[in-house]
Amino acid sequence: MRNFAVARRRMVREQLAAAGVADRRVLAAMEEVPRHLFVPKLLRHRAHQPCALPIGYGQTISKPFTVGLMSALLELRGHEQVLEIGTGSGYQGAVLSRLAAAVISVERIAPLAARARRTLAELSYDNITVLAHDGVCGLADFAPFDAIMVTACAPYLPPLLVSQLADGGYLLIPVSKGREQILYRYRRQGNEVLIEQSVSCRFVPLLPGVEEGAEQEEILDADIAPDSDVTGGPGREEHLA
């Protein structure tokens, strides 16, 4: 039987800590959350490799470094309410749930939301709620949020998300700049939103609406996605403010 706990420890040591992710709470969370349970069964042997993996519907689970870096950039301390836009497999939300008091995660592809909800329930992660919802609109009924993470690329900073961010809170979102995508960390200070950090990245596009549909067929090993979504690292962050 494959020892996934050993694989997680090695993943954290070699792909996160060695690459500059230093937040101990993030490292501990990613050592705890069973990443292999968030990928299709036929790909579980590849769950801890340094690459993104397909989860169906043209979506991926981000590579471990991306999850670790984005989690660390939110600087969570344990008391926050977090909004995640783009549930996907549920893995990033699961990691956030180990770092914050409560997480609400929205996913526009309803079958993915249902699958993630089942996985999280089976793991008894009861401080994360998954909704099939249009993430472009945010979730005003539950705002303000201490932190907002968007795991899809937007053409610009959505004003509705800014309005739902608490004063002093961080908003992490990829934004397209021509052919390039930049992962920005914004911080709200009163009525101003400051750009604090950025790094090159690659994500699926942020789309409006909610998409219904039947569960897809099992993912095949041949369907492996491109091996990177964040192409920089902590050492390459551009401090803009």
Q: Cite the active site residues.
A: 62
Amino acid at 3: N
Residue located via tokens 């909004």? 83
What angle do helix axes 4-11 and 24-32 make, rounded to 10 degrees?
A: 160
Q: 42 with 218: CB under 8 angstroms?
A: yes
Q: What's the order of all strands across the beta sheet hosting 128-132?
A: 128-132, 102-107, 81-85, 145-150, 165-177, 180-189, 192-201
Segment (H or E) for 24: helix 24-32
| DSSP secondary structure letter of residue 57 | T
Q: 52 with 122: CB under 8 angstroms?
A: no
Number of alpha carbons in the 13 Å side-chain half-sphere of residue 140: 5
Closest CA to 225 of 117, 34, 63: 63
